[in-house]
Structure 1
Amino acid sequence: MPISVSGAPSPIPPPEGTGEVIIGLDAGTSVIKAVAFDRQGRELAKTQCDNRLTHRADGGVEQGLEATWDAAVTTLTTLVAEHPELASRIAAIAVTGQGDGTWMIDADGHPVGDALLWLDNRSSEIVAHWRASRIGPEAYRRTGTGLNQSVQSGQLAWLEANQPQRLARAATVFHCKDWLYFRLTGERATDPAEALWTYGDYRTSDYSEAVLEHFGLGRHRHLLPPIVDGSREYAPLNVEVAHAIGIAPGTPVVLAPVDMLATALGAGVYEPGKRVACSIIGTTGAHMCARQDMRDIVLSNQSCYTMPCVAPDTWVQLCSNMAATLNLEWFLKGQNQLLAALGEPQLDPEGLLSRLDTALATTEPGRVIYHPFICTNGERGPFFNPRARAQFLGLSSDTNQLHMVRAIYEGVAFAARDCYHALEAHPEELRLTGGAARSRTLCRILASVMGVPVRTLTREETGAAGAAMVASLCLGHHRNLAEACGTWVTPFLVEERVMPDPDLQNLYERLFGVYRRSYANADGFWRHFERVTAEF
């Protein structure tokens, strides 16, 4: 059973012999990272390992449970092997990972097939039906989370309809981090955020029988693991796993929040008395703000996620768009494919993004509108449409490729503002993390689109840092989340803020309306295009 710590009148001290180093294990979709931090939140060492995913012809995207576990163990083992001086100083391991998806095990703890990832599109028709009927709105009133093809409930319904024998073998349904926590400790558990946004009621902080019944999943209630708050409980590291990694058995293992929330916490989304928002702009886009009063929670267009924050009586709401930097990756890949087909040398990847950033800084803004819906699964936020497709609007013979790339940057920024519009969030400062935070041009565009200063961090591994900060709370290193953020977040905020450009802000204010109206009018085209292309 997990060991309660900060819920006791006097925090239980960590096991004798543990030290001051906390490892944040962050299991992303394609890369798993292990990052070691000291008690001041400073990064000491880092390793990573790739994790493979499989794209199926029917729209499925899957990942092996054992392969994911092997990658996680390899990452941890390599970290300790490369930095043996850390082994005796490790106080805890904190686990976070990719959100949504379906990771199933049987009664003996063995995987029941491969995991369905958040990218899996096979439940789209089920989810579309739920959203169009009373099911979606009724569930949304309790979960505070809009249904999309990524969420586990729709995937379970798809499995029941299409692979019932497989579902019948399952004893527990996890999310990614829960599977790794189980392998590290033997405990079947999930964190409050994913439990509640999938099947729960944010008002009661528990699973909701009514939500399960709305989905027609009531008979599968036994598959849902207990909810564990990692800021208050940990479980000891399995002896066999400890020996494999090279650290002490019984080392506390903390089930941290899902990666988006862990990253937001690590980037400073929680700052009492200040209206701060946090955007993660990487392959996807995730846009979050804290609600310090339940009455401030927005239930608007079924596009948001609502999750309990680590601080008492505080929630984080999120609106996530499927593709962010993936749009730029697609464009540059296409350029290289064209050059290769012509027998020309490809773009030199060394310093490419930095060179591109410099060129875009002097490229005329707003020449083209771009809708960044490049993901084959369509869009999930701030609207749900599996047919949505990316598009350039306003091309002419005067348009060059720099205009198009700048339009991609602007489209990603418009998508972020669109998500905050759905959240009804009005931040006074935007904290930015993810790969896009390295782009000064994107920061300036985002600040001008949002109309607020943008602030980045001096470190990149904010997800692992946020997870480790939760473990630090669990071990009693801090009295509360605000104090923890004073150690783990504030010292790592870049002092200089990127301010909006007044001229750009005026232009983007007008173009944002064009951006929204043009995609709102595109559904008829997307429907017809899908129908025609399906015939070939």
Structure 2
Amino acid sequence: MAEGADVLIGIDAGTSVIKAVAFDLAGRQLGTAAVVNTYREEPDGSAVQSMERTWADCAKALRELGQVVDGLARRTAAVSVTGQGDGTWLVGAGNRPVGDAWLWLDARSASTVRRLWDGPLERTRFERTGTGLNTCQQGAQLAHMATVHPDLIGQAEVALHCKDWLHLCLTGVRATDPSEASFTFGDFRNRAYDDTVIEALGLSGRRHLLPPILDGTMTTHPLTREAAEATGLLEGTPVSLGYVDMVMTALGAGVYAREPGVACSTVGSTGVHMRAVHSEDVFLNAEGTGYVIALPIPGVVTQVQTNMAATLNIDWVLGTAADLVAEFGDRPSKADLVGRIEGWLARSEPGAILYHPYISAGERGPFIDPDARAGFIGLSSGHRYPDLVRAVVEGIAMAARDCYAAMGDMPRELRLTGGAARSRALRSVLAATTGASVRTSSRDEAGAAGAAMMAAVAIKAFPTMDACIETWVTPLLGPAEAPDARLAERYAGVFEGYRTARQGLAPVWNHMAALRSRDVRLDAGAEPAELAIAAGNETGN
């Protein structure tokens, strides 16, 4: 570590924003800079992002951070980068992008995923990776490209992820990390590529596209002259390749503890639910869903289940109220409505209405069904708007419990991060629904902090990740908020109804999807006779 270097920079390249955050060696946040991210969605299900623009935005964020933190370039001991997971960022000759990146939001590989689900090696693939196959993942996207876009994949020399691309731009080194490598193409037990997994994806002939696996807690590479000029940092600054953003956020928020039974939920637009376990203690569910993602701690992984939508459901129910009020006058602000949630919950009966929070048109955890939709069950003429708000909040908590139930025993302590963690009402509902004590982290930028922690270990500022956690994470955890015993008993019964209804609704969701598909074809000019035949096939008649 260079003399006078007392700053670590964590880069977190998310889907909506790219952040560069400076920390001192003890984990105190010194400053942050952010650049809004841009991507494009099309009717065919594609969601793509310019790779050149992503690098330019990352460099801009670092330059702007230099305006926030005095003497940043000479003070920087190391940089680490994490970013949005899954997706496919193809690189060809001269380290130039091959078209735009396919994001985790891209749904074009759906038909390929359905085909691979029926493959003879699918269960083996799941048991090696610990990860259910879905359209988000690079393995599915590469398999789809190989069939549908062979010209595109034929130009590629390496297939990277978002953070891997930025690491390449910073260092000139093509690599990926153990977390994304093993949950997509490998075995979480040894954190290496697995030939059977690659075969199950139909990619044995494309194995050359998989980059070397690099652990950023052990190895750094120097910032190149070109990257130094673009970012304002000094050439030769050590750069660490972080793990995928989900586990970096969880690491920074406190997912790992020496004592058992600790879990971590990020309750933001989506819901991410994790528990840290030793590799030999992983619980693989019969449905073949979820992720197993390595932590930068030897022998320790996270089990993960993710909801498509968490607070997006609250946005919807509040937006509905705002639309209605606006019909009669000024539209209330979101902040005004959020401020009323506590009062609405106080005036409503717990567990009176079931709400399944699949407002984002589909679900991925703990089950995968693109046809799943949100809905209320149990409405009566006596229910009013506060009852609906409570049902939505409870639905988010029930979805979290559903996810943890698919990973084994329920946690005894739940550590929260994300915007919703600031809500006392949501915390109390989550605690009672899961039966776990709840603690929040005061860390503002957990993802960037997790990445910076890897750099801290890599440059020997801390001897181990455990030692880094004791300084960077543990002091920022708030007091434990115990669940209300009576409310927990009530919610335990409600959850059984929630899960039974969720399982029973699948045929209804599928039927409604068939009707929507028929309507789309009708709008496109299909003949009535064709529609009748298609509808019969789609509903199983």
**Same fold per TM (> 0.5)?**
yes
Name the counterpart of 1:386.
370
Q: Give the partner amino acid of 1:485.
A: I
Name the counterpart of 2:517.
534
- Aligned pair in 2 of structure 1 residues 85, 368: CA closer, same or farther (>3 Å)? same
Q: Give the partner amino acid of 1:530.
A: A
Native 8 Å contact 1:266 1:462 kept in 2: yes
Equivalences for residues 308-457 of structure 1 within 5 A: 308-340=294-326, 342=327, 344-376=329-361, 378-457=362-441
In the alignment, the residues of structure 2 paired with residue 132 and residue 338 of structure 1 have an alpha-carbon distance, to the nearest angstrom, of 47
In the alignment, the residues of structure 2 paired with residue 210 and residue 279 of structure 1 have an alpha-carbon distance, to the nearest angstrom, of 32
In the alignment, the residues of structure 2 paired with residue 158 and residue 306 of structure 1 have an alpha-carbon distance, to the nearest angstrom, of 23
Between 286-295 and 263-272, the greater mean CA deviation after superposition? 286-295
- TM (norm. structure 1) is 0.93
Name the counterpart of 2:458.
474
Picking from 439, 447, 459, the partner of 1:463 is 447
- Aligned pair in 2 of structure 1 residues 337, 70: CA closer, same or farther (>3 Å)? farther
- Aligned pair in 2 of structure 1 residues 109, 18: CA closer, same or farther (>3 Å)? farther
In the alignment, the residues of structure 2 paired with residue 348 and residue 272 of structure 1 have an alpha-carbon distance, to the nearest angstrom, of 43
Deviation at 1:30, TM superposition (A): 0.5
Native 8 Å contact 2:252 2:443 kept in 1: no
Task: Determine what percentage of the aligned residue pairs are the same residue.
Answer: 45
Picking from 130, 138, 150, the partner of 1:144 is 130
Q: Does residue 214 of structure 1 match 2:200?
A: yes
Number of aligned pairs? 519
Native 8 Å contact 2:127 2:284 kept in 1: no
Name the counterpart of 2:503.
520
User: Relative contact order (alpha carbons < 8 A, sep ≥ 6): 1 or 2 greater?
Assistant: 1
Native 8 Å contact 1:22 1:38 kept in 2: yes
Equivalences for residues 5-154 of structure 1 within 5 A: 14=1, 16-17=2-3, 19-154=5-140
SS of alignment partner, residue 95 of structure 2? coil
Native 8 Å contact 1:294 1:314 kept in 2: no
In the alignment, the residues of structure 2 paired with residue 175 and residue 449 of structure 1 have an alpha-carbon distance, to the nearest angstrom, of 36
SS of alignment partner, residue 477 of structure 1? coil
Name the counterpart of 2:539.
none
Deviation at 1:295, TM superposition (A): 4.0
Q: Does residue 261 of structure 1 match 2:244?
A: no
Deviation at 1:17, TM superposition (A): 4.3
Between 161-170 and 82-91, the greater mean CA deviation after superposition? 82-91
In the alignment, the residues of structure 2 paired with residue 333 and residue 168 of structure 1 have an alpha-carbon distance, to the nearest angstrom, of 46
Measured against aligned partners, the alpha-carbon deviations of 1:16-56 in whole angstroms (never above 9, x if no partner) come to 34611111110111011111111111111011111112111
Native 8 Å contact 2:283 2:408 kept in 1: no
User: Which residues of structure 1 form unaligned runs of 5+?
Assistant: 1-13
Q: Give the partner amino acid of 1:523.
A: A
In the alignment, the residues of structure 1 paired with residue 120 and residue 419 of structure 2 have an alpha-carbon distance, to the nearest angstrom, of 39
Q: Give the partner amino acid of 2:9.
A: I
- Aligned pair in 2 of structure 1 residues 475, 425: CA closer, same or farther (>3 Å)? farther
Deviation at 1:331, TM superposition (A): 2.8
Native 8 Å contact 2:254 2:415 kept in 1: yes
Measured against aligned partners, the alpha-carbon deviations of 1:316-375 in whole angstroms (never above 9, x if no partner) come to 1111121111222233334444455x3632122345423333433443222221111122
Deviation at 1:301, TM superposition (A): 2.3
Native 8 Å contact 1:136 1:146 kept in 2: no
Q: Give the partner amino acid of 1:514.
A: G
In the alignment, the residues of structure 2 paired with residue 310 and residue 110 of structure 1 have an alpha-carbon distance, to the nearest angstrom, of 29
User: Which residues of structure 2 form unaligned runs of 5+?
Assistant: 520-541
Deviation at 1:293, TM superposition (A): 4.8
Q: Give the partner amino acid of 1:140.
A: F
Native 8 Å contact 1:285 1:416 kept in 2: yes
Deviation at 1:211, TM superposition (A): 0.9
In the alignment, the residues of structure 2 paired with residue 451 and residue 509 of structure 1 have an alpha-carbon distance, to the nearest angstrom, of 9
Q: Give the partner amino acid of 1:207.
A: Y
- Aligned pair in 2 of structure 1 residues 347, 229: CA closer, same or farther (>3 Å)? same
Q: Give the partner amino acid of 2:351.
A: G
